[in-house]
């Protein structure tokens, strides 16, 4: 499904965090939202997921404003992974992942074979099947990140919105994670991720949205957005996009005075 923000503004308390933002993510696409700390990435993702009401403008999912989506239908279509990775009880890993099936059940309904299949494949996709009986309080930070992504994958969403899913992952699992994002995108999913690793954005994302102080300063294909000028304007660093052995890499040379 297509996820689209039109002339979007959002506030946290009295502070405007997003101003006049237009973004568009299509099925089959992995879209990166990048920008310095406090640029409004997390707020944009929360508004796109229907968790924060925009102050102005609107968000359309499949051409229908989010506010018009019934709660349950939206939960079946769109999965959201927050940056905050707190799990409040020492639940077993499998039980955490199974929470992704919640939108498909009424109270007390037993798990169907469909549910079990979704949970099993999410565990396998995130390489945590071996941890499934372990209490969540006893897994490492990177494992926890994968458990929470698996929870969202178990939802089998048409749109996946993930806030810094790669933070804390080892290089192998970062690559595996983004390869998997590409795979589900190829199957028709719309993927929106906020991230700080510019090389990951350059290598795996079809589209990059660069935010600064709540405004979009560039959006489009990675090589058009990740230019030295844009990176200087957004982050205040001198940086260059290289291609090494066919793989795009963003090299951050240093801070600018």
Partner 1 sequence: MTAAPIARVEAEALSPRHLLASLGGLALLAFLLSLAVGPAGPLIEAAPGARWLIFTEIRLPRALLAALVGAGLGVSGAALQGYLRNPLAEPGLVGISGGAALGAVLVIHTGLSLSFALALPIGGLLGALVAMLAVVALAGTRGGGVTLILAGLAVSAFATALVSLALNLSANPFASVEMVFWMMGSLADRSLVHVWVAAPLILAGIALLLRAGRALDALSLGEDTAASLGIDLARTRLAIVAGTALAVGAGTAVTGIIGFIGLIVPHALRPFCAHRPGLLLIASAPGGAAMLLVADVALRLAQPFVDVRIGVLTALLGAPFFVWLVLRTRRELVP
Q: Which residues of this protein are in contact with partner 1, per CB under 8 A?
A: 46, 49-51, 71-72, 74-76, 78-82, 84, 86-92, 95-96, 99-100, 102-103, 105, 107-108, 133-135, 137-138, 148, 151, 155
Nearer to partner 1, 15 or 71 (CB): 71
Evaluate whether 38 touches 15 at the Cβ level (below 8 Å): no
φ and ψ of 124, to 5 deg: -70, -45
Report, in Å, the least distance between residue 80 CB and partner 1.
4
Report, in Å, the least distance between residue 164 CB and partner 1.
14
Rounded to whole angstroms, the Cα distance separating 63 from 1 reads 9
Closest CA to 83 of 196, 6, 173: 196
Q: How far apart are the first and last CA of the chain?
A: 43
Provide the H-helix boundaries in 33-140. 41-48, 71-77, 93-98, 113-125
Nearer to partner 1, 67 or 186 (CB): 67
Nearer to partner 1, 35 or 50 (CB): 50
Nearer to partner 1, 83 or 238 (CB): 83
Report, in Å, the least distance between residue 216 CB and partner 1.
23
Report, in Å, the least distance between residue 199 CB and partner 1.
28
Report, in Å, the least distance between residue 35 CB and partner 1.
20
Q: How far does Cα 123 stand from its chain's mean position?
A: 18
Token pair of 185 as six digits: 């995108």
What angle do helix axes 113-125 and 141-153 make, rounded to 10 degrees? Answer: 140
Nearer to partner 1, 11 or 213 (CB): 11
């Amino acid at each position: 499904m297509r996820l689209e923000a039109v002339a979007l503004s959002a506030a946290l308390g009295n502070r405007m965090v997003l101003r006049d933002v237009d973004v568009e993510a299509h099925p089959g696409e992995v879209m990166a939202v990048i920008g310095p700390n406090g640029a409004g990435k997390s707020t944009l993702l929360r508004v796109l997921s229907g968790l924060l009401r925009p102050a102005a403008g609107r968000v359309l999912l499949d051409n229908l404003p989010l506010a018009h989506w019934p709660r349950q239908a939206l939960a079946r279509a769109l999965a959201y992974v927050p940056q905050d990775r707190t799990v409040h009880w020492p639940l077993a890993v499998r039980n955490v992942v199974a929470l992704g099936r919640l939108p498909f059940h009424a109270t007390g309904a037993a798990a169907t074979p469909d549910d079990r299949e979704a949970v099993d494949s999410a565990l396998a996709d995130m390489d945590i099947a071996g941890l499934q009986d372990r209490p969540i309080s006893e897994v490492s930070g990177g494992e926890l990140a994968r458990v929470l992504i698996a929870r969202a994958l178990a939802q089998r969403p048409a749109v996946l919105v993930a806030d810094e899913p790669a933070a804390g992952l080892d290089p192998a699992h970062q690559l595996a994670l983004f390869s998997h994002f590409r795979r589900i995108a190829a199957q028709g999913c719309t993927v929106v991720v906020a991230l700080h690793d510019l090389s990951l954005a350059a290598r795996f994302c079809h589209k990059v949205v660069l935010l600064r102080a709540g405004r979009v300063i560039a959006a489009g294909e990675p090589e058009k957005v990740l230019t030295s000028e844009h990176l200087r304007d957004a982050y205040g660093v001198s940086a260059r996009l290289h291609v090494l052995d066919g793989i795009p890499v963003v090299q951050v040379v240093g801070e600018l005075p």
